[in-house]
Amino acid sequence: MTLHALERGERRLLTSTTTNSDGRTTEPLLSADAIPVGQYELTFFVGDYWRGRGEALASPAFLDDVVIRVGVADAAGRYHVPLLVSPYGYSTYRGS
């Protein structure tokens, strides 16, 4: 998974991580004081995740990279963005 800041039409990589075998990160991507107001993109490499779990995907996979663009309006807020995913669909929301 990667996190990019969107600034003046450009993407700037902030951090990347690999999820555990359950598909979760164990640490926050950024500390709470490092998230200024702005637009961000989270990219989840779900095709790689499913292939790593032995899932037989079509070529090309129906879902490979899932990109979620989020806005941070409150720099002091907590932003938890879960992704619920299958090989053929996903949902996301702002978690607690």
Tell me: the pLDDT tens digits for 20-62? 877 788 777 877 677 899 999 999 999 999 999 999 999 999 9
Nearest by Cα to 35 from 89, 80, 84, 67: 80
Asked whether 90 and 50 are in contact (CB, 8 A), the reply is no
Nearest by Cα to 14 from 40, 33, 52: 40
The pTM of the full predicted model, rounded to 2 decimals, is 0.89
Cα three-residue angle 93-26-43, rounded to 5 degrees: 50
Tell me: the pLDDT tens digits for 60-93? 999 999 999 999 998 888 888 999 999 999 999 9
